[in-house]
């Protein structure tokens, strides 16, 4: 209690110094949290883009499919399986797909395309596919036409109502050939998707590939993306793992995870520099403070205060100063981050935008309000404070009263 009171009052003794130190911490926290918040916001957006609009957080496949994505590794879609998956906690939808490659041929050209057989209505719940439609009509049950990505259509020099022939190898080596009218054009932000995708209904795809009732994947929609690992675990115990594999997006897209991790690593370097600068600034004032108060510390030790107690008081002072800075910094970041989350920075037109487009992301930079951002930065400042505290701590625990009180 005593040292708490003294520590608190000592803060106000050299107001200017306290203010400068607190302000330094404040800006460090503000900058670093904002930076992390925007970075994480970008990732959340990327993940949303890729996971939310395409792969789903979790997928169920025939065992071995992900490593060897061929039709022979498809599985039979029984109603039981679907029920079982939908009964799993956090799973709100299971999107069936039969995916393969085909040569798409128009009168003029033929190009490789990724062909996805889907349930148009369920697919829409995960990928909002219908919103990508820029011309024609969306698939309905029983429709026999194709939805072709705009870029692919342009490359094939075809338009709405033209005809495409799809040519491929079907299930168990059967020949797959079909002729389809184009009933709609889709526009994707990602060039990769925009130059490759063709959608048709699941029964049509199963017929084309000679794989009735078979699927290559069930993509799961979760009500909380963060629960993906738990869903994977639950399904792995629920399903026969000899027959099925259950993967979350991290497992399916290690490159994406790697890219984000590398990016985080790079930003750590900036943060490190920022914290080094601030850290040394604080260290300087701590050095000065310890020096200036030597006599006073000497008197306290002389009259009977244990050095450890005295050191604890000084460490408490630093924790107070930095605590105020951290709280103020986080307090100031939250509204800014909230605003940036609602009004993301638009990068379109810039160099970054192209890079983003290459990865298939929208060129927006929103912030994240994930509490871990704030907790992480606060913890880092806390650790730095403790590190800096080591100096007065060791100085005081070795202090000699007579020595300190001599001129």
Give the three-state DSSP class for 91: strand
> What are the tokens at 341?
């989350």
Size of the site for another protein (CB under 8 A): 19
For tokens 């999107």, what's the residue?
95
Round to whole Å and give the CA distance between 232 and 236.
6
Q: Which element (helix H / strand E) includes 116? A: strand 110-118
**Residue 374, Cα to own-chain centre: how many angstroms?**
16
With CB under 8 A as the contact rule, which of the stretches 84-92, 98-106, 108-116, 294-302 interacts with another protein?
294-302
| Residue among 129, 128, 125 at smallest CA distance from 223 | 125
For residue 301, the minimal CB distance to another protein (Å) is: 7
* Given 268, 270, 280, 295, the residue binding another protein (CB under 8 A): 295
The 10 Å CB-count burial string (b at 16+, else e) for 17-43 is bbeebbebbbbbbbbbbbbbbbbbbbb
The residues in 124-153 that bind another protein, with binding defined as CB under 8 A, are none
Round to whole Å and give the CA distance between 73 and 75.
7
Round to whole Å and give the CA distance between 133 and 148.
9
The interface mask with another protein, positions 237-276, x = CB under 8 A, is: ----------------------------------------
Bridge partner list, 101: 114
For residue 306, the minimal CB distance to another protein (Å) is: 6
With CB under 8 A as the contact rule, which of the stretches 21-29, 198-206, 246-254, 295-303 interacts with another protein?
295-303
* Given 223, 296, 354, 358, the residue binding another protein (CB under 8 A): 296
With CB under 8 A as the contact rule, which of the stretches 1-9, 152-160, 332-340, 371-379 interacts with another protein?
1-9
The residues in 6-35 that bind another protein, with binding defined as CB under 8 A, are 6, 9-10, 13
| CB nearer to another protein: pick between 6 and 122 | 6
Round to whole Å and give the CA distance between 300 and 314.
13
For residue 6, the minimal CB distance to another protein (Å) is: 6
Q: Which element (helix H / strand E) includes 58? A: strand 58-62
Round to whole Å and give the CA distance between 292 and 296.
9
Q: Please state whether beta strands 146-149 and 175-186 pair in parallel, antiparallel, or not at all (unpaired).
A: parallel
| CB nearer to another protein: pick between 268 and 295 | 295
| Residue among 313, 278, 282, 332 at smallest CA distance from 33 | 332
**Residue 392, Cα to own-chain centre: how many angstroms?**
40
Give the three-state DSSP class for 165: strand
For residue 389, the minimal CB distance to another protein (Å) is: 19
For residue 311, the minimal CB distance to another protein (Å) is: 13
For residue 26, the minimal CB distance to another protein (Å) is: 24
The interface mask with another protein, positions 383-402, x = CB under 8 A, is: ------------------xx
Contact 216, 66 (CB under 8 A): no
Q: What is the DSSP letter of 126?
A: H
For residue 16, the minimal CB distance to another protein (Å) is: 16
The residues in 297-356 that bind another protein, with binding defined as CB under 8 A, are 299-307
Is residue 292 near another protein by the rule CB under 8 A? no
| CB nearer to another protein: pick between 116 and 314 | 314
| CB nearer to another protein: pick between 133 and 405 | 405
Residue 6's Cβ-count burial label (10 Å; 0-12, 13-18, 19+) is middle
For residue 305, the minimal CB distance to another protein (Å) is: 6
Give the three-state DSSP class for 93: strand
| CB nearer to another protein: pick between 82 and 294 | 294
For residue 36, the minimal CB distance to another protein (Å) is: 37
For residue 324, the minimal CB distance to another protein (Å) is: 17
With CB under 8 A as the contact rule, which of the stretches 3-11, 75-83, 209-217, 357-365 interacts with another protein?
3-11
| CB nearer to another protein: pick between 179 and 306 | 306
Residues of this chain that bind another protein (CB under 8 A)? 2, 6, 9-10, 13, 295-296, 299-307, 401-402, 405
């Amino acid at each position: 209690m005593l040292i708490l009171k003294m520590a608190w009052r000592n803060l106000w003794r050299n107001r200017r110094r306290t203010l400068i130190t607190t302000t330094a911490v404040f800006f460090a926290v503000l900058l670093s949290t904002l930076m992390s918040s925007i970075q994480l916001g970008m990732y959340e957006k990327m993940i949303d883009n890729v996971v939310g609009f395409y792969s789903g957080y979790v997928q169920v496949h025939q065992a071995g499919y992900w490593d060897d994505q061929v039709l022979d590794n498809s599985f039979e879609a029984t109603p039981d399986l679907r029920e079982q998956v939908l009964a799993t906690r956090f799973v709100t939808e299971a999107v069936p797909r039969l995916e393969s490659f085909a040569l798409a041929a128009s009168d003029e050209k033929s190009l490789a395309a990724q062909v996805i057989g889907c349930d148009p209505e369920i697919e829409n719940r995960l990928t909002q596919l219908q919103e990508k439609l820029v011309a024609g009509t969306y698939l309905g049950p029983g429709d026999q036409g194709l939805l072709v990505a705009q870029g692919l259509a342009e490359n094939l020099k075809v338009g709405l109502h033209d005809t495409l022939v799809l040519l491929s190898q079907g299930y168990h080596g059967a020949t797959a050939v079909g002729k389809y009218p184009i009933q709609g054009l889709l526009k994707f932000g990602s060039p990769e998707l925009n130059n490759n995708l063709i959608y048709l209904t699941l029964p049509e795809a199963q017929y084309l590939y000679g794989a009735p009732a078979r699927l290559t994947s069930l993509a799961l929609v979760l009500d909380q993306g963060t629960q993906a690992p738990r869903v994977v675990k639950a399904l792995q115990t629920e399903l026969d793992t000899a027959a099925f594999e259950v993967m979350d997006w991290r497992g399916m897209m290690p490159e994406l995870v790697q890219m984000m991790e590398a990016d985080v690593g790079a930003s750590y370097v900036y943060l490190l520099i920022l914290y080094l600068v601030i850290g040394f600034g604080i260290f300087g004032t701590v050095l000065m403070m310890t020096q200036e108060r030597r006599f006073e510390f000497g008197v306290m030790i002389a009259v009977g205060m244990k050095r450890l107690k005295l050191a604890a008081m000084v460490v408490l002072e630093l924790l107070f100063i930095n605590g105020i800075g951290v709280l103020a910094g986080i307090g100031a970041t939250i509204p800014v981050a909230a605003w940036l989350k609602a009004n993301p920075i638009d990068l379109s037109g810039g160099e970054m935008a192209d890079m983003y487009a290459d990865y298939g992301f929208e060129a927006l930079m929103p912030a994240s309000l994930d509490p871990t951002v704030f907790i992480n930065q606060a913890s880092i400042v806390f650790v730095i404070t403790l590190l800096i505290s080591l100096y007065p701590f060791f100085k005081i625990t070795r202090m000699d009263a007579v020595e300190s009180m001599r001129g």
